[in-house]
Amino acid sequence: MALDFLGIMKQASQLQAKMQALQAELDQIEVEGEAGGGLVRVRMSAKSELKGVRIDPSLMKPDEHEILEDLMVTALNDARRKAEAVMQERMAAITGGLPLPPGLKF
C-alpha cells in the first residue's frame, strides 16, 4: 500500500509541474475577439488579460458612442470565450480529460 501512495504522490508532483508550465504557456497564448464585422478587435491572453484594442476610426463619432461601447463589450466577451476554450483544451490535454474539483482555478 505504501507503494501506491508513493505513486500517487509522484503523479501529483508531475501534475503540479505540468500545471505550472501550462500557466506560463497560457500567458503567451493570445486570442482575438471582434465585433461589428471586425470594426472593434481586442487581444487577450488565454488567461483573460487584455493585451490590446483596435477600433476602426469610422466608429469615432461623438453621437454614436453607445454603439462603440456595445461593440467593445461584445468583442471582449468574444475574446474571453475564446480564451476559456483554449484554457479548457490545454487543461484536458494535461489531465487526460479527468474532471478537476469544482472551484479549482489557475
Mean pLDDT value of segment 22-50:
91
* Fold observed for domain 28-93: Ybab; Chain: A; (3.30.1310)
* Residue 56: strand, helix, or coil: coil
Which of 91, 80, 96, 100 shows the shortest CA–CA distance to 32?
A: 80
* Residue boundaries of the structural domains of the chain: 28-93
pLDDT for position 76: 95
Q: Residue length, the chain?
A: 106
pTM over 0.75: no
C-alpha–C-alpha distance, residues 53 and 68, integer Å: 12
pLDDT category at 54 given cuts 50, 70, 90 is very high
